[in-house]
Amino acid sequence: MERKTLQEITEGIRPADGAALTAAQERMDSLIKPLGSLGKLESMAVKMAGITGKVKNTVEKRCSIVMVADNGIIEEGVAGSPKDITLIQGMNMTKGICGMGVLSAYANADIKVVDIGIDADYNNDKVYHRKIKYGADNFAKGPAMSRSECIQAIEVGIEMVGLAKEEGYEILGTGEMGIGNTSSTSAVLMAFTGLSAEKAVGKGGGLTDEGLAHKKEVITGALELNRPDPADPIDVISKVGGLDIAGLTGCFLAAAYYRLPIVIDGVISALAALAACRINPLVKDYLFSSHRSIEPAYDLICRELGIEPMLDMDMRLGEGTGCTLAFNIIGAACAMMRNMATFEDIKYDQSYRIDIRQEKEAETDE
């Protein structure tokens, strides 16, 4: 497989296919149902057409890319789980026995587990070994990684999506595993937006109120120390981000380049999607959001991206679990577009139909 650089991918992204979007909307409006009656399923099916250039699509060949990496910031006592969980759960994904493994199997989806920065050596031939370094550095004491390491990590994500494209996958999910990565996520979001720790920092996998207060203090101090440039996403990720965030950022960029739909999971992958959109705003045309994470940063990121999650399940596991649920919903939307009859097919006059969508839009504007 020919490997693409970050620059090649970023410069090669094109917007959604306008002609396909128009054709898909016309077909959607001709299907035997009241106009707009299937709500968000309709907009999903139309969006798929803009991504692929085809009105009728399938998303039966599914794969989630899970970036696994440790985070040096846990030295500051900001995580509620022990560090070795990163390695343990990364390995459990390859066995199919953790949450992501079970839900992926149920959704008939594959997983590519990528070691982009686990702070350990091990033997597992089911892992894609792409370790940039043994975990990101503690960004409370200095940058999490160098700029060149950040670019390397982004290009790992690009490589993995290129491989998935080559293998014929029709839709991608994004996941991560890394104790301490909600801290790096909050730090990157705060750097991008200027939000305070009070608004952007949550309890992650589980902290006491005292632990949360300490986490906010550590992240605020780290931003003052590193002073990342909000206009330069790579500078932000390299200074206060994580290797998993960088890898997922590459996944979102490459999915847009290869015209593949890609699903956001929880707060970490949502942040990576935001970073990718900061690098190239056209990435937004290729995104689907799965579920609403209960981390406070999640809704803030969604507002920045202008997207709305399709599910609200009180989930906060991460790993890519929300994507496994979204695959079937997006698949249902595509099946509707492919297989439902039109009024022309059944030779029935559709002039009786009233389009109430404009009324709803007017109510929203008010």
Q: Closest Cα partner for 118 from 166, 57, 180? A: 180
Length of the chain: 366
Q: What is the DSSP letter of 134?
A: S
Apex 113 CA angle, 164 and 151, nearest 5: 75
Let me know if 348 is exposed, middle or buried by CB neighbors in 10 A (0-12, 13-18, 19+).
exposed
Amino acid at 131: K
Q: Give the Cα-Cα-Cα angle 190, 289, 280 (nearest 5 degrees).
A: 60
Question: Is 319 assigned a catalytic role?
Answer: yes
Question: Of all helices (H) and strands (E), which one includes residue 112?
Answer: strand 109-117
Catalytic residue, chosen from 319, 359, 361, 363, is 319
Q: What is the CA radius of gyration of the chain?
A: 21
Q: What angle do CA 300, 264, 29 make, to 5 degrees?
A: 100
Cα–Cα distance, 36 to 33 (Å, whole number) = 8
Contact 134, 119 (CB under 8 A): yes
Q: How many CB atoms lie within 10 A of CB 339?
A: 9
Catalytic sites, residue numbers:
319
